[in-house]
Structure 1
Amino acid sequence: MANYKLLKRLERIIYFIKTAPGISKLELIDKIWDTTDHEVSERTIERDFTTLKTDYGLDIVYDRSLRGYRIDDDAERLGTFFKFAELSSLADLYEAGLKDYKTFQKWVIPDDSSAFKGLHNMQKILQGITLSQKLSFTKVNYYQNSRTVYTVTPLRLKEYLNRWYLIAVPDSLEEIRTFGLDRIENLQVLPEKAKLIKDGEKQLHQFLDVIGLNYNETDKVEKVVLQAQNKQIKYLRSLPLHHSQTCVEGENGWGRVTYELKPNYEFETQILKLGAMVVVEKPLWFRERIAGHIKGMNELYT
């Protein structure tokens, strides 16, 4: 496992190559020096390239047409790496002196997540995943005001909108389900071995086709095209809604953004959040659905 100093440098390398394909090794060294205040050599960079490939599955290659380096773009691996780097950055805060609540209040303005609970369950969940053991817990259903006891085979932890979810298969099923950690009580790691899940990896792969959690609203991956203001495209490039996103700016102040995904409810909410800065061009049924949401909202204010 890389220490945080190394991980921080690796994250910088990926960031600079991702944002400036064709960057030279010397340019990369200069940028790392400027942003981390640590001097590195060409040999260090070469070792880092090897570490990224062997430990994280991220391949940095020299592209002769660009006369510099680029990364073989694997959205899933990149996303996982950046999330790992983000969570590991907490260690850097600690080393810098963030050791008490008063210091935390002075340095950090957190998001409003005071109602969230469930992070204490992470250790047991990771234990169950690592040791391939079943978990038992009580799931609280806020909508139905009920509690249900589950025994599950845990597969993954997934984050969405600053909330963590357990992806698991209940004993009575063969299909994956998601459980919010904030709704899990009485979690226990059982001595019973986890069951083998038919097409487990294939089922997990379904999350790549959607934004968020709802992968079974439709079976069809579609090409969604948006017209978007050029100014908004800059923000979308900085924080993509989905790994399939491609952006092209236009000459009249409006450009085009395309996605290859299953248009689910979470995607609809992301589009609606952009307001008048985007317009759905196609498919027609999705354009009409978004228009229906806008019409319904407008009627509430008239």
Structure 2
Amino acid sequence: MDTVLRGRDGLEVVIGRDRPFTPIGERLNPTNKPRLQRAYDIGDWAFVQRDAKRQVAAGARVIDVNTGDPHHDIEERKMRDAVRAVQEVVDVPVSIDSYTVKVLLAGLEVAEGRPIVNSVPFEADYMDELLPAIAEHGAAMIGMCTKGGAAMPETAQERVDNARSLIAVAGEHGVRAEDIVIDPVCLPIGANDVYGPGLIQAIHTLADEDGVNMSIGLSNVSFGLPNRRSLNAATLLLAIESGLTAAILDMTHKETRHAVMAANLIHGHDSFSSTWIQNFRSEEAAKERRAERRAAKNDA
């Protein structure tokens, strides 16, 4: 099953089991990022655009846009402006990210191509309001395996049951199964020993039995633990091998980027290892430039 997204100029990004893994760039989320929050507040769209371009250069195939303002009327305006700004400078699809329906709708109004909405909880009122608009705009969506009023799913079976129910309800609103990317809910594994196995088992089951595409918020897995980037990379490789087809992550982190590129290479999605080799050369060139700058500074 393939989920097809498109950027402003028609660039297609296809999420699927037999496709290259799809990294969704997470950096345009202002949580704990005061400089980005200020850029959103004052309309410094050049700052936002630089970050979007940096993520695409690092390998992101979709850019997630989250403006994070608790004042919904303000956030609607910010979301429109942010989506426009990002699509001015990158041709990859956008992911419109908010917990507020009106903000998601504002992003959908201005998004060009075929975006993805991130994310839709399994809550009846929320889905009743949002899903018809997603279907009308012909967008895709990330649906969360969380059930309204219930605790976060811990076991694999809870995740699988919620995912199947969500897909059925979405279908009633005109959203096709191939346009749904399931988020099996990545929880901090340091908090409970069942969170890791529950996630991996759910991914495996949904991939093998249902054939759905899936995405996780990768950084959640390592919250509260040391050496987070290494843990994120290891989790990502295990999840991809189990059937994960996309993730919201930071491709500017070397460990994460290497994990994505290694998975694509091993699964036959990097012809003649060209992307792997090109990335190595780029990293070596960057090291040389840094060394030259340090030497020049010491000589000054």
- When normalised by structure 1's length, the TM-score is 0.28
Q: Relative to total residues, which structure has the larger helix share, 1 or 2?
A: 2
User: Which of the pair has the greater relative contact order for Cα pairs under 8 Å at 6+ separation?
Assistant: 2
- When normalised by structure 2's length, the TM-score is 0.28
Q: Relative to total residues, which structure has the larger strand share, 1 or 2?
A: 1
